[in-house]
């Protein structure tokens, strides 16, 4: 690469979208990942064409260039820039393509100068369907796939009906057709007028599809608020499964009781031996206090690390559970299960980050 190309490279990559990968991807693996987003993706020389976008061949980046790109603590990454070459099948498909590649290959994505770790945002699994399913079609599948709700939250779902443990809310206004809620998972069926490449390949004769979004009930409640309509609560964009925990770690122990030391100091100020003893005692007390404080800090760090691990495991488990619901719907309704970026999933574990790394 010439000096001029190296000079212009950070600017080209910064505008993105770009996938920043920890290792040079095998061309076959990169093509297989691209075909999850566009089954008709193909190679074109050293590049890959997918959904009206060109995935440029990987370029090695060193620490100096990465620093200019705002990517910290990395000595070397491989960049695959995504360049739109025509009308995109859906809005921001090139950005989703970069994020999806980075997500599955354990890397970063970069767009408009902002580096992003896609692994922090698992998103909501989706199911593309040829038409909005009738309640009689989808309810038996959800009754077997969802953890059952005990009752209808009439404050939130005044029109909801509990059927075999699943709350059905017929919205039928705007883009949202129906909402189905279990104890902890919400399925929102929307009408979609722009077909992603996976749906175009599967149903080339269709001009619109239905999309079932599988999201957490708790998160939707927090985002929507108590006064939000069901349609507004259910049709938000895919967001991260984040659980904010407040750790109530034990505080470091306070200073040791210095009453006896003070008393000794008061009675022995006239002798140098007494002063020396007091100084030694004070140093010992400070040492013990410091050791206990350090031990308490270590305990706090261990507790926070344990809770962070538990939070991560909980988020992964919830994402896997939602993916299982999406796969059950896709299988029962002859649809296509995909992650939040439109990459097809064939198994539950496909929604976890780094699956093709």
| pLDDT tens track for 186-242 | 999 999 888 899 999 999 999 999 999 999 997 544 444 433 333 333 333 333 332
Residue 47 DSSP SS3: strand
- Directed axis angle between helix 93-104 and helix 27-37, to 10°? 130
Place of tokens 């009689």: 136
pLDDT tier for residue 110 given thresholds of 50, 70 and 90: confident
What's the confidence (pLDDT) of residue 11? 61
pLDDT(259) > 60: no
Is it the case that residue 9 has pLDDT exceeding 80?
no
Summarised one tens digit per residue, pLDDT across range 41-97 is 999 999 999 999 999 999 988 877 777 777 767 788 899 999 998 889 999 999 999
Check residues 223 and 3 and name the one with the higher pLDDT. 223
Predicted pLDDT at 270: 39
The pairing of strands 126-129 and 114-116 is unpaired
Q: How would you classify the pairing of strands 176-181 and 185-192? A: antiparallel
User: What does 220-254 look like in DSSP terms, one character per residue?
Assistant: HHHHH-TT--HHHHH-PPP----------PPPPP-
The single residue listed with the structure tokens 């800090």 is 297
Q: DSSP secondary-structure letter at 242?
A: -
pLDDT for residue 238: 34
């Amino acid at each position: 690469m010439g000096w001029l190309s190296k000079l212009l490279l950070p600017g080209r990559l910064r505008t993105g979208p770009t996938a920043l990968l920890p290792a040079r991807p095998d061309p076959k693996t990169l093509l297989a990942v691209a075909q999850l987003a566009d089954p008709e993706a193909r190679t074109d020389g050293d590049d890959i064409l997918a959904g009206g976008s060109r995935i440029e061949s990987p370029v090695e980046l060193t620490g100096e260039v990465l620093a200019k790109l705002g990517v910290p603590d990395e000595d070397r990454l491989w960049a695959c820039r995504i360049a739109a070459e025509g009308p995109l099948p859906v809005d921001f498909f090139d950005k989703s393509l970069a994020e999806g590649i980075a997500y599955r290959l354990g890397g970063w994505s970069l767009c408009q100068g902002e580096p992003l770790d896609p692994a922090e945002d698992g998103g909501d699994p989706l199911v593309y369907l040829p038409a909005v399913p009738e309640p009689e079609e989808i309810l038996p599948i959800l009754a077997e796939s969802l953890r059952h709700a005990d009752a209808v939250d009439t404050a939130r779902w005044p029109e909801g009906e509990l059927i075999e443990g699943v709350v059905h809310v017929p919205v039928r206004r705007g883009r949202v057709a129906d909402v189905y809620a279990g104890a902890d998972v919400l399925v929102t069926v929307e009408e979609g007028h722009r077909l992603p490449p996976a749906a175009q390949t599967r149903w080339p004769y269709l001009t619109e599809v239905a999309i079932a979004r599988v999201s957490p009930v708790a998160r939707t409640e927090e985002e929507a608020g108590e006064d939000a309509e069901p349609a507004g609560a259910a049709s938000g964009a895919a967001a991260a499964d984040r659980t904010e925990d407040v750790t109530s770690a034990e505080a470091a122990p306070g200073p040791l009781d210095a009453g006896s030391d003070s008393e000794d100091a008061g009675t022995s100020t006239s002798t140098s031996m007494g002063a020396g003893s007091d100084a030694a005692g004070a140093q010992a007390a400070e040492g013990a206090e410091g050791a206990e404080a350090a031990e308490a800090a270590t305990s706090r760090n261990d507790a926070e690390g344990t809770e962070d691990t538990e939070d991560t495991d909980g988020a992964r488990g919830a994402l896997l559970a939602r993916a299982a619901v999406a796969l059950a719907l896709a299988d029962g309704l002859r649809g296509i299960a995909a992650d939040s970026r439109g990459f097809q999933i064939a198994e539950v574990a496909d929604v976890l980050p780094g699956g093709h790394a």
